[in-house]
Chains A and B, each alone.
Chain A
Amino acid sequence: MARTTKNVAKTAKAACLIARRPLLTMLAGAVAGSFAARQARADSWPDQPITIVVSTKAGGGFDMMARNLAPALSKELGVPVNVLDKEGGAMVIGTRYFLSQPHDGNTLLVSGPAPYWYADINKFHAGYDLKDFDILNVQWTDKTGVFVPKSGRFQSFKDIIDAIKAHPGEVSCGVVRDSGEFFNAGILINALKLPLSAIRLVTYEASAPLRTAVAGGQLDFALVSLEASLNMLSLIKAVAIFNDVPIPELPGTPTASDVLKAEGITATFVPSSMRALITYADLKEKYPDRYERLRGVYEKILHDPEFLAKAKKQGVGTDWLGPEQSLAQIKAAYAIFDQYKSLLNQ
């Protein structure tokens, strides 16, 4: 350090002594040099902190996924990785903020391409579309759970369905607006061949207040994302899950389709919230090296046993589908949403 300072001082002294034109040349050289240095650093991306934008409030599943991923990405990439929660306007505010940042790979997004973006795009004129993004991976697809209060008036999924059929308009059902569960409630009532007014659909802006309402016995039942609800099993009870098979965390809880099949009802439901890590559509073209590095590192993290164990403990999903399969799944979900698009205007 001291030597550098001495050199600089020497150079400065020399600069004072020499004529003006060579001074300009030297300056130009210095500027060119700094450009070269910047170029060299660009190749060794990343050279500055990376920000993961989350398009929901702190504390939810999207935020949990980002905060769980940040230290692992930081370790692999060698730069700090920060999480920035930008909630509001469904998912529009955070997602638009992400799009407004330089498309250089230094900003990533954790958001919900299905079903939330579907409403953003089709209802809120968000101004973006799936093609503006490169979905690196749908890391965490939650399942829908049917929950009732511990001491509620219904204690099985069959009870609920019987009551809806016997007393249309008497049973209250909580859902998060525009969520997968919101669509699933509509699909369920449709499958029962009843109008949507057959249930009292109560809409919440996030799953935490919805779970609180079930715990407090405010609702007869709720369709709510399953995994984040498992913490609250001492206050709420799962009576069915929307999944192909029962899950080990909830032994004895039937799948919704098994219960419905016994009633002679079949229906195709949509997946619950998809939580994905996302980058810009043009990153692959503009900075192919960065894109590959990012994708490689992310894939590696999701196969690291230590990371998987930690994520499992926090209840965060760790699927690796990759960009192609992720996009295919989202598009498949969009095809079902298209059939029930009218629900969005309920």
Chain B
Amino acid sequence: MIDWQALLSAFHILGSSYSAWLLTIPGIALGMLGGAIPGVSSALILAIVLPATLWMSLLSALIFMTAIYTGAAFGVAIPAILMGVPGSPAAVATSFDGYPMTQRGEHNLALGLALAASTLGHMGAYLILFLFIGVISHAVLKLGPLEMLLLMLWGLTLIAALRGRYVSRSLLSGLIGILIATIGLSPRDVIRGTFDLPDLLDGVPVVPAMIGLFAASELFNLAGTSYLVQRSDLRTVSVREIARGMLSALYHPVVILRGLLIGATIGGLPGVGAAVCNLVSYAETRRGDKHPETFGKGNPKGVIAAEAGNASSEAGSMATLLALGIPGGASSAVMLAALSLHDVTSGPQFLDASKDIVYAIILNNFVQGAIMLVLGLGLIGLMANVIRIPVRVLIPVILVLATFGSYGLSGNMAGPLTMVVFGFIGWLMQRHDYSVPACVVGLILGGKVENALLQTYQISGGGQLSYFIGRPIALVLLVLLLFSLFSRPIMQWWRRRNPALSDAPQDNAVKSA
């Protein structure tokens, strides 16, 4: 698996190129700060620095860009935890439990958990990448539209879990999200629901809509209060508490491992990426837990699952980028552009021809994890102070930042307008107990699910059963999906019917979960 000659040469390159190391720290810091502003994605930061990478060596450029990627993957968690406003779809699941923790005054703990889970997810996934880069990238190729469809349906089932007071209203809001995602050109090129507005041809811009929904539903709720954290004695920033959070993440190795495995594989799927990883990782952790009802109310495991999932997706998408020249998402597409700027033909032969550079990037990313731990500790120590800001000051500041962020995303007024419109929708939904997170999950996954569904239909000759039977991976995924959906209700039903047997199987069920 490991090419020792190339590894040795990678150490040599890294040891002799100080400029690559010099760029690592500012890269992580830039990514983290950018990611912490709602609406600023890693892809946007990468696109901004892209021209500057022309003046760097290929290795320095790639390391600088992966450092930004690494930093941003954690940075987006900060507003998600502190204000309930995820800055990118990658951090949606982080906000589910992170924000309730903040409201309880456990912001230090939550940020520490997120930082540790991010770092471990990042380093663990790069370790997998280091060992199995060739295998992973080729395994990803084996997943066709049917498998993608099943994976995304897995993410969509989260809608049912994200219920508020009424299950039916949550399902309905998930459906509304999916319907909003169908606005624009369909994968079959049908124009739907655009009201002849050319700006809507590409659909509703997801990130501004998401920020609007979350910001409005959370922030308007706060308008009556004076501070994010109600109890004044808990309104502190404590590095000790953050460190305690970081340590306590270590007590959940299974959650982290699951997250990084999901991230390292799903993250590499072209067009899926971090947006799906964090949702699937969260959904699986919730489902496997003894007390799923505590999720969404500030369960630390929710934060760990989401962050381990989204941080490890970087390694997944780097695997397909470096080994096959296939970008898994917007960020790696910009890196692909950087490769071509450096006259490098990316593609399968890149890994063979430049294995030393690939190893050097991976090795550097281990160190990036360590640097992120230190830089992150400093940054969250600083950022956590937002809990001391009175809400009447905080809300306008966040709204202004988010407006700039969404302007940056769309490059015109379409972004801010979308944010305002969805802010109003979010406020209405929150007021009437319709789950906003369920709507966002539908909005993020709806379009992707439709595309995979259409391709599955086309490739199977109009849904012929023989195609499905010939795909073992899909069948395994289907069984897993059905198991994770129905194992618990079936067990409960079984226990109710056989009360005498209840003790023994219950223990087993918990262990296997």
Interface residues, chain A, CB within 8 Å of chain B? 57-59, 63-64, 67-68, 71, 82, 84-90, 92-93, 96-97, 119, 123-127, 169-170, 172, 177-178, 200-205, 208-209, 211-213, 215-219, 231-232, 234-235, 310, 313-315, 344
Contact = CB atoms under 8 A, between A and B. Distances in A.
Interface of B: 47, 51, 54, 140-145, 184-185, 187-189, 191, 196, 198-199, 201-202, 270-271, 324-327, 330, 333-334, 336-337, 340-341, 343, 345-349, 411-412, 451, 454-455, 458-461
A313 B342 CA distance: 11
B141 A92 contact: no
Given A172-B459, A313-B343, A234 B327 contact: no
Nearest to B320: A212
A314 B327 contact: no
B187 A231 contact: no
B51 to A, nearest CB: 7
Contact of A93 (B191, B202, B460): B202
B234 to A, nearest CB: 45
Contacts, number: 130
A203 B454 contact: yes
A125 to B, nearest CB: 8
Nearest to B332: A59
A170 B144 contact: no
18 contacts: A59-B340, A86-B411, A88-B202, A89-B184, A93-B199, A93-B201, A97-B411, A123-B189, A124-B191, A200-B458, A203-B187, A208-B327, A213-B144, A213-B145, A219-B459, A232-B348, A235-B348, A310-B343
A133 to B, nearest CB: 17
Contact of B142 (A64, A82, A211, A216): A216
B269 to A, nearest CB: 10
A71 to B, nearest CB: 8
B141 A231 contact: no
Nearest to B202: A88
Nearest to A213: B144
Query: 9 smallest A-B Cβ distances: which pairs?
Result: A89-B201, A88-B202, A216-B141, A231-B347, A59-B333, A218-B144, A59-B336, A202-B458, A89-B202
Given A200-B461, A234-B349, A67 B326 contact: no
B334 A58 contact: yes
Interface of A: prevailing SS: mixed
A216 B327 contact: no
A212 B324 contact: yes
Contacts of B143: 216
A93 B203 CA distance: 11
A205 B187 contact: yes
A314 B337 contact: no
B53 to A, nearest CB: 12
Given A58-B47, A59-B333, A216 B346 contact: no
B167 to A, nearest CB: 35
B345 to A, nearest CB: 5
A178 B49 CA distance: 33
A212 B198 contact: no
A86 to B, nearest CB: 7
Contact of A344 (B140, B144, B189, B461): B189
B142 A200 contact: no
B334 A59 contact: yes
B326 A212 contact: yes
Given A89-B198, A89-B202, A124-B191, A231 B459 contact: no
A202 to B, nearest CB: 4
A212 B141 contact: yes
Contacts of A87: 202
Contacts of B188: 203
Contact of B340 (A57, A67, A125, A344): A67
Contacts of A126: 198
B415 to A, nearest CB: 13
B51 A314 contact: no
Contact of B326 (A89, A93, A202, A208): A208
A315 B51 CA distance: 20
A346 to B, nearest CB: 9
Contact of A212 (B270, B340, B341): B270
Contacts of A212: 141, 270, 324, 326
A123 B201 CA distance: 12
B141 A314 contact: no
Contact of A231 (B198, B343, B345): B345
Contact of A218 (B185, B325, B348, B459): B459
A231 B142 CA distance: 20
B81 to A, nearest CB: 30
Contact of B459 (A177, A202, A310, A313): A202
Nearest to A96: B198
Given A57-B333, A209-B271, A314-B345, A64 B47 contact: no
Contacts of B199: 93
Contacts of B460: 200
B349 to A, nearest CB: 6
**Among B47, B141, B451, B460, residue most surrounded by chain A Cβ atoms (within 10 Å):** B141
A235 B140 CA distance: 14
A142 to B, nearest CB: 16
Contacts of B458: 172, 200-203
Contacts of A178: 189
A95 to B, nearest CB: 10
Nearest to A89: B201
Given A82-B51, A208-B270, A212-B270, A92 B201 contact: yes
A139 to B, nearest CB: 16
A232 B140 CA distance: 16
Contact of B346 (A92, A170, A215, A231): A231
B268 to A, nearest CB: 11
A23 to B, nearest CB: 40
Contacts of B340: 59, 64, 67-68, 314
A286 to B, nearest CB: 24
A89 B185 contact: yes
Given A90-B201, A231-B348, A232-B348, 10 more contacts: A58-B47, A63-B337, A93-B202, A125-B196, A172-B461, A202-B459, A215-B324, A231-B346, A310-B343, A314-B340
Contacts of A235: 141, 324, 348
B228 to A, nearest CB: 36
B413 to A, nearest CB: 12
Contact of B343 (A85, A127, A314): A314
A84 B343 CA distance: 20
A179 to B, nearest CB: 12
B455 A203 contact: yes
A96 B202 CA distance: 12
B454 to A, nearest CB: 7
Nearest to B54: A71
A96 B201 CA distance: 11
A63 B198 CA distance: 22
